[in-house]
Structure formats: C-alpha cells, structure tokens
Amino acid sequence: MITFDSVTKRYPDGFVAVDDLSIEAETGRITVLVGPSGCGKTTTLRMINRMIDATEGQILLDGADVKKIDPPTLRRGIGYVIQQAGLFPHRKIVDNVATVPYLLGWDKKKARDRAMELLERVGLDPKMAQRYPFQLSGGQQQRVGVARALAADPPVLLMDEPFSAVDPIVRTSLQEELLRLQSELNKTIVFVTHDIDEAIKLGDKVAVLRVGGKLAQFAAPKTLLSEPADDFVREFLGRDRGIRRLSFISTEHLRLRTDLVVSSSAASGSAAASDGLLMVVSEDGRPVGWQGSDEPFGTYVHGKDSLRAALDAALLSPSGQAVAVDPEGKVVGIATREALDAALAEAADG
Ligand code: ADP
Ligand code: MG
C-alpha cells in the first residue's frame, strides 16, 4: 500500500503543485490520478519513487517512509512507464526490456530470457525483439515500455499517461491488455491520465485533482459517477455521466415479459401482441428472430450484463426491445422499451 499523508510539493519558485494530498493506493489495485493538465499528477507520481521529493507530509510504502529509503533501492521495487515509452533508440527491443535486469547484474542470458517472456506477456511477437524502437508502431512501443517496467517484477508500477499518445483504437486495446495483465499480476499500480473515460475504465479507485494540486474527490468509479463531490467533478465527468453510470447498474431488477416469447413450433398460429414484437425461440430455447420480421435483435445476459448492455441490445432491435438470455444463451424474456424506460428513470433517481 502507498499512503500519501498530507503531502505538499512546493517548487523552488514557490509554486504549489500538490496541496495537502492524503490518499491511499491499495496493494494489488489500480489507483488512477486524473485531472486537467497542470493539476500536479506527474509531480504526485514522481514523489513516490523520489524523482521529486515532497516538501511537506509523508509518503509511506507499506508503512515505510520513502524518504528513508535510498532512491536506487526504492526504484528497484517500482516500475515506471511514461508517455511514448521512453525507449532507448539505439538499443534493440530485447535489450530495452532487459535494461533493469542488466543494471541489477543479471547474466545476459537470464536477462534476455526474461525479456522474451515479457514481450510475449504484453502481446508482442517475439520477432520484434531484434528490432529497434523506430521500427515499431506507437502502440507496440508502449507495450515494450510496459514490458520493460515489469522486467524486474517490481510490486509497484507507476504509469504516467502511458497511452495518451496513441490513437483511440490502439489505446482501447492497450487498456484491455493492461487489465488482463493486472488480473494475472496484481501489481500495485498508480496510473496517471487526463482522460476521465480511461480513469473510469481502469481505476479501482480514482483521485480527481483540480489545478493547484488539490484533491477534489477520491472514490471508486461508480461512486464518482453517482455522487460527484462538487461542480468541478461533475463538469469533469461531463455530460455522458448518466450513460457511463449505467455500466454499473445491474439488469437483475429489469422487468421481463415472457408472454412475448414463443417457441418456433407454436409460432405460426399465434398473433402478434399489440404492444411488442414476439421473439421466436428454437426448441432448445435460443433466439431465432422476431416473428414475421427480418429485423435484427440484440441480446444481453440477464442479471450479469449491465443496464448499459441491455440498452445497447435494445438499440439493435427495431422495436427498442432487448432479448434477455441466460448465461447459456437461452431466452428468459423480453425487456420492452417501457421496462427499460422504467429502469432508466429509477437509475436517474438513485
Ligand atoms: P500534470 O502532470 O498534472 O500536468 P505537473 O505535476 O507536471 O502536472 O505540474 C503541476 C504544476 O507544477 C504545473 O503548473 C507545472 O507548471 C508546475 N511545475 C512542474 N515542475 C515544476 C518545476 N520544476 N518548477 C516549478 N513549477 C513546476
Ligand atoms: Mg503530467
């Protein structure tokens, strides 16, 4: 666990970049620092590995004051990933990844084996190992940056806007890769971004900072979205707040209509309900299509997927109905537009 206890950073010119910050980054979790440019995110991050020293207050790493640990020792246990990867341009990828093992005096073979293993872990083709950084795309370079930070298997990983310089599609895949890696590695990660969507997607907890280095709110993403502390946080979250929040709302209470589901054997004779399309299901209960219509349909897993997924499913259907299925893909009912509207209204109140 990393504890910030009333930490202030005043630069020599008197500028206060971080103001009386108290937060805890839990072990094995991703803590995100988010806020507009200049709000002190990088300063906060660098105080952890002492690239910058705090002016006041204490930073504790598992209870030990980082100021009492000499920087090289401290940094051995802390991986650091920055924007544009910061790779050494004249070193091959494999040697970039093995940088820290070499510094730690590992023999060359062991260091390189470790580097190869990590390249694979972050989803890179081993053939890339012999290339130089300029021969890789931005997204690939970022993966190398992550591999390099993991090389000595540090328990803590600091990431400063690591995905900010790549295009949105690559960025999404890097975010997913990080979440997958984290589910295997359980590092204590402090992740800096100016992008609230990224913060909400990656963070177990999110610290929203405002300019002047003041903490505006420190909470789980769900709480940020449902209970923003003030107008600054509300505005920073933006107008899509309502939609994002739906990702955290369960579909288990969504009212389903089973009378709109008909089996394929019985389908021919039954008349369409006046207030919705009928979903025809196969003998084993799987959705076939809307009766008398070629229009598409969308499904979601009832009780497991979020309300947002149910709405996405409804958008695929011409009638605005979502097909609720169980984890095996069998239809359990239809969420009508009315039922979805009711759930949305309830979400807006809550
Ligand atoms: P962020 O990463 O959130 O964009 P930084 O932590 O880099 O913000 O910087 C926070 C503030 O501190 C900015 O206003 C920046 O100009 C200022 N700052 C950063 N480094 C120094 C320095 N060495 N001396 C004076 N001010 C600095
Ligand atoms: Mg920064």
142-163 pLDDT, tens per residue?
899 999 999 888 999 999 998 8
Angstrom distances, CA of residue 240 to CA of 173, 208, 316, 344:
22, 17, 20, 14
What pLDDT was estimated at residue 152? 84
Long-range interactions of 264-268: CB distance < 8 A, separation 24+: 264/288, 267/291
**Cβ of 138 below 6 Å from ligand 1:** no
Which range, of 7-16, 59-68, 316-325, averages the lowest pLDDT? 316-325
What pLDDT was estimated at residue 239? 64
- Helix or strand run (H / E) with residue 121: helix 108-121
CA proximity to 21, closest of 2, 5, 10, 3: 5
**Whether the Cβ atoms of residue 304 and residue 327 lie closer than 8 Å to each other:** yes
**Cβ of 82 below 6 Å from ligand 1:** no
Whether 252 is in a domain gets the answer: no
Whether 229 is in a domain gets the answer: yes
**Cβ of 74 below 6 Å from ligand 1:** no
Whether 339 is in a domain gets the answer: yes
Using the Cα atoms of residue 45, residue 50, residue 55 and residue 56 in order, give the sign of their dihedral.
Answer: positive
Give the mean pLDDT of 129-137.
92
**Cβ of 47 below 6 Å from ligand 1:** no
171 and 312, same domain (yes or no): no
Ligand sitting nearest the alpha carbon of 214: 1
**Cα of 82 from ligand 1 centre, angstroms:** 16
Atom of ligand 1 nearest to the CA of 9: 12
What pLDDT was estimated at residue 12? 94
SS3 225: helix
311 and 240, same domain (yes or no): no
200 and 268, same domain (yes or no): no
**Cβ of 13 below 6 Å from ligand 1:** yes
SS3 27: coil
Give the mean pLDDT of 107-118.
93
What pLDDT was estimated at residue 302? 96
Give the Cα separation of 319 and 276 in Å (integer): 7
Whether 78 is in a domain gets the answer: yes
322 and 185, same domain (yes or no): no
Residue closest via CA to ligand 1's atom 12 equals 17
Q: How many structural domains compose the chain?
A: 2
Residue closest via CA to ligand 1's atom 25 equals 11
Q: How many residues does the chain have?
A: 350
**Cα of 238 from ligand 2 centre, angstroms:** 21
Give the mean pLDDT of 292-320.
88
Strands 56-61 and 64-65: antiparallel
pTM greater than the 0.95 cutoff: no
Structural domain of residue 296, as residue ranges? 261-349
**Cα of 38 from ligand 2 centre, angstroms:** 7
- Helix or strand run (H / E) with residue 334: strand 331-335
Assign 292 a pLDDT band (cuts: 50, 70, 90): confident
